[in-house]
Amino acid sequence: MAAAFRSPLLAPVLRGEQVTLRPATNDDVEAFVAFLGEPGVTRWWGENDTASVREQLAEAPSYAIVVDDAVVGWLQVHEEAEPQYPSVWFDIALASTVQGRGCGPEALRLAIRHQIERGHHRFSIDPAVDNERAIRAYAAVGFRPVGVLRAYEMLPDGGRRDGLLMDLLAEELR
Ligand SMILES: CC(C)(COP(=O)(O)OP(=O)(O)OC[C@H]1O[C@@H](n2cnc3c(N)ncnc32)[C@H](O)[C@@H]1OP(=O)(O)O)[C@@H](O)C(=O)NCCC(=O)NCCS
């Protein structure tokens, strides 16, 4: 954990217009497993079950994304551990019920603002190159394409998929 950032990595609760972010707990695992199993999410996040979600939750500080009192998304917040290269990167998934209404960008904006308040200046995210909706959503927040991460992701059939590295500096947040 970068020594310069003394306030908590995850805020207790961050509230936006549609979206509330609160730190995820093991009580959220089944809700996460449910939407991660939707075809439109599995396509980009791969296969997950209760055990793999628990394992990831233990490793990645995470928010549960809450809309209309329901847990409908997972936002992982990864902080670079090397103090010379401070940055934060994200992984996000939303249930199909709330996709396409701006909840993803809103969740990212809330999380990025909190990290800017903590002193961070650089953020990144790495969607698959053909995840057009994700790329548009991240561009709306202010992320810019940096370049293609070739053969970045292993697929269940043994193939590999390219990723698009996108980054954003604090002053570029929209
Ligand atoms: C990617 C994701 C986080 C985006 O959040 P969202 O709240 O759905 O995003 P938005 O509602 O702001 O829509 C984003 C943009 O994609 C566009 N869009 C919607 N469906 C689309 C589609 N099938 N193909 C291309 N663009 C699409 C929207 O019009 C919008 O563009 P605009 O802002 O220029 O009008 C969310 O859809 C999601 O979790 N998807 C499933 C899992 C996933 O792909 N995770 C990301 C892995 S990196």
Q: Please give the full DSSP string across 47-78, using - where no structure is assigned.
A: ---HHHHHHHHHHS-EEEEEETTEEEEEEEEE
pLDDT surpasses 80 at 3: no
Query: What is the overall mean pLDDT for the chain?
Result: 96
**According to the model, what pLDDT value does residue 80 have?**
94
Rounded CA-CA distance 22/110 in Å is 11
Candidates 17, 124, 136: which one to mutate for ligand 1, based on the most atoms within 8 Å of Cβ? 136
CA of 46 from ligand 1 middle (Å) equals 17
**According to the model, what pLDDT value does residue 6 have?**
77
**According to the model, what pLDDT value does residue 168 have?**
98
Using an 8 Å Cβ cutoff, are 101 and 133 in contact?
Answer: no
Residue 85: which residues within 8 A CB-CB, separation 6 or more? none
**According to the model, what pLDDT value does residue 5 have?**
77
Using an 8 Å Cβ cutoff, are 28 and 39 in contact?
Answer: no
pLDDT surpasses 90 at 65: yes
pLDDT surpasses 90 at 132: yes
Task: Indicate the pTM of the whole model.
Answer: 0.96
**According to the model, what pLDDT value does residue 170 have?**
98
**According to the model, what pLDDT value does residue 7 have?**
87
The strand order across the sheet containing 88-94 reads 14-15, 19-23, 62-67, 70-79, 88-94, 122-125, 160-169, 144-154
CA of 4 from ligand 1 middle (Å) equals 34
Which parts of 13-148 fold into alpha helices (H)? 29-36, 39-45, 50-59, 103-117, 132-141
Percent of the chain with pLDDT over 90: 94
